[in-house]
Chains A and B, each alone.
Chain A
Amino acid sequence: MSEQEFINCCIGGMVKVTVKDGVITRMRPLRLTEEDGGHWTIEAKGKKFSDPRKTTINPFNIAERMRVYSENRIKYPMKRKNFDPKGERHPELRGKDEYVRISWDEALDLVAGEIKRIQGTYGKAAVTAFVSSHHNYGLLYYKMGPMPRFYNILGYTQLLDNPDSWEGWHWGSMHTWGWYWRFGQCDNFDMLAEALKNTEQVIYWSVDPNTTAGGYGGQETIIWREWLRELGISGIFIDPYCNATAAHMADKWLAPRPGTDAALAEAIAYQWIVDDTYDHWFIENRTVHFDEWKAYILGETDGVPKSPDWAAPICDLPAHTIRAVAREWASKKSMLACGSQYGTAGACRNSYATEWASLMIHLIAMQGIGKEGVNIWGGTAHGAPLDMSFKSAGYSDVGWDVFGLVAKQPTFPDRNPVTQKVYRILLPEAILDGHIEWLGEGFCVQYPTQQFKPMQYPEPGPNGAEIRMIHRHGGSFISTMTDTSKWVRMYQSPKLEFVVMQDCHWQSETRFGDVILPASTNFEHEDISEWAQPGGYGNGNVNCNHRILMYQQKCIEPLWESKPDYQIYCELADRLGFLEEYTEGNSEEDWIRKVFDYTDLPKHISYEEFKKKGYFVVPSLPEDYKPTVSNRWYYEGRPVDTPDRFNPLQGTDKATQLATPSGKIEFVRTILQEHFPDDDERPPMPRYIPLYEGHESKGVVEKYPLQLMTPHAKFSYHTHQDNKILWLNDIPQHRIVKDGYAYWPMRMNPADAEARGIKDGDIVMVYNDRAKVLGVALVTERCRPGLVHSYQAAAKYDPLEPGAAGSIDRGGCVNLLSHSRMTSQNAYGEANMSFLVEVRKWEA
């Protein structure tokens, strides 16, 4: 019996993997040795806090071996039974057809042949390819890895991602305070020590770090919040649902109605103005247009003071509680824990969420962001004392070709010969209607007005073409995008002549493929990465207690007939005659070696040792290190000093400024004033606007009186673990087994349940005019009245009538129920955080 240990990294933490006789038997955290180094200690309020010497793993990755060996792995290449590439293709059977096993050669010949035929017939733009986020970790194999390199060389219609988890920040707060290279959110350096030493209170607004910080960073920051508690730093939580962090540690939970957060923010500002508890010096010296906004808040311009009494019926909170939260906030040195990587999603994904996001900046500006103890601290999830000067690499460092970091010829942005783009959340409309228009080039982090750029599909002129082929790589959107029945209708469109699915697991969309290619997981090939390092737009956002770079060691051979994605693309490139261009003669390990050489690793460890040991811990900061707390420079009027690599003002004569037209925080968004002066859905001066579909939506709310909110889940990163790791079905917050079927929980307040004759554990149907989804009622006081809460991560789309777009779904894909409307008319973000539904007991 041979037993070996390997180092690898999952999407929720690095793991030490035991392999016995070629089979993975366990996944565990890593104990750091003295030799590994990386120590730090923070002294705060008479106590010492040191780096934990073992790493942490997110729950779904503890159980990762069940994902590797899941019955839902795609085991062999397959072809849809009634798909005849030479004859009748039967697109209408996508989603309900059977599959037959075929050989790799047959599958790859078919895919390469269809690419050639379709591009030959309609032009290169007739093919698109896309991938979901976060399915396999590793720099070379991430979504910006082998797929985009392949298609950037071949030429294809790039699918632009909407800024899915940042919407309100991207489309809103960016225009209030810049930070466009970070989607409108600030950096978060050295925040842990700052909070422990100087902060008295944390306001967690629409953020659940114990749930979401587990993505990437394992559970590294859980201990930080325990330290905050130990020091008596209080936590106020604002969320319609008493989220996992709040239920564990809230000193106060305030539950406004979904989508009314902006009204609450305005009322807090009102109270600060009338109490005179805001930072006049900061307002006068670091912001512009405050007086105009103040007049609006006080009701001087429209006769409506935005007082707590005004907000109370909107938010369904007592006015005295709103006054109390305003006073508590102003009376203590408070961090606002919203936004940043682990405060994404949430309220920033409501319709008109631009307003809330900008108002968050207004509030923290009124309290003097950057002064001691006062700041925005994302999801309380970044900012351990780590050496950010160590050069590493992150997947978003080179846009859509992570190989471009080290390739002789990067493929992004100019290599793709096709200039036509299509927009992800509108892809179904693009296929079904044949034409879409939108604003913005996807993730707009180049300059603030990049998001205003008018786009259309098909691209006018000879280079545009309607899409005839989709190559879907890794993941599914049926649970996570908006009004997702339209994805079902899209896949069944006869316009799509060919659909190929390439994935490790049967995802909800896989069953719509004509050909299915089995990919292997990150345990079945080698890779290199830094744990939890996105690079680029998230540079420095390492939510860990150490910076650890890894040689992700191959633990087992590819299972069944699966192949690593890179190999699949190599074989396709070979068939299409550009293998040499694709690989530049590199083997997989050659690429890894080149990335190794690109980083600062060679200064500290030999390649051979790194490969054998599997990891390297970035050494501790020097003794004389001077912290560069985020936003402190701005408060103090100094040039920016944080290691935010992509801040374009760094080292210029504007280095003391923010990246707005005035260089200051703008209470009236002058960029919007210039470009969209009359937009009442994203007015230059931010304000509360009732949800497009919310409690004030007359004509709908009578029929569908409950608000369903759909935040990110704890036990599955999007759809990547659910329905694969069946152990998760025994965690009642994840799925609830009833009559032998694992249903998705639908959380309801007891009064709402009782009014509908629903008991805890009943199978219920959540429905509106768009869809019907079954789940099990989890009746809980953690839901405010009127709220249904259900996570967006169900990986099982299980229509009672397979392949029928309007069918009742038994799998729990709650985004079938969300609406297609954008954030607002000129902000093309998804707005599926909350919408209206009704619930009734299901009797089949």
Chain B
Amino acid sequence: MARYGMVIDVKKCVGCYNCFLTCRDEFAGNDYPGYSAAQPMSGGNWLKVNEIERGRYPHVKVDYVPVTCAQCEEAACLTLDQTGAVYRRPDGIVMIDPEKAKGNKDLVNTCPYRRIEWNEELQVAQKCTFCAHLLDAGEPEPRCVESCPSGALVFGDLDDPASEVAKLVAAGATEVLRPEFAMGDKVTYANLPKKFVAGTVVYGDVDEVAADLEVVLGEVAGSRITKTNGFGDFEFEGLADNADCTVKIEAPGYKAVTLSAKTSRDIYLGEIVLEK
């Protein structure tokens, strides 16, 4: 029996919202007896996309983090449910029985990720099913994965070492949204946004960008070195939150510059002008 999971590679997500819209297309108004009751015609967010704008003009980027039920191994909804409405299928998918869950609004509060929604119209708690009705019908993946144009959503059997999803997990570069919940999420992420420190280095005397220049970042976790590109830009990506950093720039014949930054947000230091 497969053990289904998903890896979402944030670096590949282009923010098209196909996953979000597809989930509505599959479930809004569509009843799948034995699996799920229809999502309301509007307002359902079994999968939603969080858009994260990073940096400041003119050094800006946007990451998109699609979030959905993580089908946790230690699912809080399953543990806390007293009614038998929540169950786990042999393939690991956590399901909410729409009949047994009727009227049980408390289920919504069991998920620390807040990924269970209350369907006011049907008086039932609902969430992502990994499109179990389609998997059982022989389809290879849920609709959101099917409609992803960039391959950011990867779905498969975590126990099959040959599957792409298992390979991504084995590569060790995936993580969960909130490790402190310790629920054994089976929807994990690659390249989740952290914080960056960036800047642009300019030689003040000649008014030219300082290309190919070494920049040293110092922080508690150690130091990192990068070089400016042809625009004089440098960027240290993947820094922890609230790290106290120093950025040191030395160029022969110019006064050394040391700047400090705290990564309470992404930091663009602006133009750093080196003077003789």
Contacts and interface: CB of A to CB of B under 8 A. Distances in A.
Interface string B50-61: 010101111111
Contact of B149 (A56, A254, A715): A56
Interface in A26-76: 26-29, 54, 56-59, 62-63, 65
Given A59-B16, A219-B18, A783-B57, A324 B232 contact: yes
Contact of A782 (B45, B60, B208, B271): B60
A223 B151 contact: yes
A616 interface: no
Nearest to B16: A59
B117 interface: no
A62 B147 contact: yes
B143 interface: yes
Nearest to B211: A324
Contact of A318 (B24, B29, B211, B271): B271
Nearest to B48: A730
A26 B60 contact: no
Interface string A765-785: 000000000000000111111
Given A27-B25, A57-B18, A325-B231, A781 B149 contact: no
A368 interface: no
A26 B30 contact: yes
A425 B276 CA distance: 58
A18 B15 CA distance: 26
Interface string B18-58: 10111011101110000000000011010000010101111
Interface string B160-195: 000000000000000000000000000000000000
B57 A25 contact: no
A210 B15 CA distance: 9
B56 A244 contact: no
B150 interface: yes
Contacts of B209: 320-321, 323-324
A731 interface: yes
Interface string A190-223: 0000000000000000000010001000111011
Interface residues of B, number: 45
A389 interface: no
Contacts of A218: 149
B262 interface: no
A756 B219 CA distance: 38
A181 to B, nearest CB: 32
B146 A219 contact: no
Contacts of A785: 57
Nearest to B12: A226
A210 B62 CA distance: 13
Contacts of A717: none
A784 B57 contact: yes
B18 A248 contact: no
Contacts of B143: 26, 28
A324 B231 CA distance: 6
A320 B42 contact: no
B26 A26 contact: yes
B188 to A, nearest CB: 20
Contacts of B57: 242, 255, 749, 781-785
Contact of B42 (A323, A727, A732): A727
Q: Which of B57, B143, B202 has the most A CB atoms < 10 Å from its CB? A: B57
B146 to A, nearest CB: 6
Given A253-B58, A781-B57, A782-B60, A65 B25 contact: yes
Given A26-B26, A253-B58, A781-B60, A62 B232 contact: no
Contacts of A247: 15, 53, 60-62
A318 B271 CA distance: 10
A226 B29 CA distance: 35
A201 to B, nearest CB: 10
Contacts of B12: 226
Nearest to B140: A31
Contact of A59 (B17, B208, B232, B233): B17
A328 B233 CA distance: 13
A689 B15 CA distance: 36
B207 A320 contact: yes
B14 interface: yes
Contacts of A325: 231
Contacts of A29: 146-147
A613 interface: no
A617 interface: no
A646 B50 CA distance: 46
A327 B58 CA distance: 20
A782 B24 contact: no
A328 B230 contact: yes
A669 B19 CA distance: 49
Contact of B30 (A25, A222, A780): A25
A48 to B, nearest CB: 15
A726 B61 contact: no
A127 B154 CA distance: 56
Given A222-B14, A223-B149, A782-B53, A727 B24 contact: yes
Interface in A441-459: none
A63 B26 CA distance: 10
Interface in A769-809: 780-785
A251 interface: yes
A782 B211 contact: no
B13 to A, nearest CB: 8
Given A62-B22, A749-B57, A28 B146 contact: yes
A25 B143 CA distance: 13
Contacts of B202: 318, 320
Nearest to A223: B150
B129 interface: no
A336 B60 CA distance: 22
Contacts of A733: 15, 51
A310 to B, nearest CB: 14
A11 to B, nearest CB: 16
A638 interface: no
Nearest to A782: B60
Given A248-B14, A727-B24, A219 B149 contact: yes
A419 interface: no
B109 interface: no
Interface in B206-241: 207-209, 211, 229-233
A252 interface: yes
A219 B62 contact: no
22 contacts: A26-B30, A28-B22, A28-B143, A28-B146, A29-B146, A58-B16, A59-B18, A65-B25, A219-B18, A223-B149, A226-B151, A244-B62, A247-B53, A247-B60, A247-B62, A248-B14, A324-B232, A325-B231, A715-B17, A730-B43, A733-B51, A780-B53
Given A28-B22, A63-B21, A781-B56, 16 more contacts: A28-B25, A57-B147, A58-B16, A62-B21, A63-B25, A214-B16, A244-B15, A251-B229, A252-B233, A324-B232, A715-B17, A727-B24, A733-B15, A781-B53, A783-B57, A784-B58
Interface of A: 25-29, 54, 56-59, 62-63, 65, 210, 214, 218-220, 222-223, 226, 242, 244-245, 247-248, 250-255, 318-321, 323-325, 327-328, 331, 714-715, 726-727, 730-733, 749, 780-785
Closest CB pairs A-B (n = 8): A219-B149, A247-B62, A56-B149, A328-B230, A222-B149, A62-B21, A781-B56, A324-B209
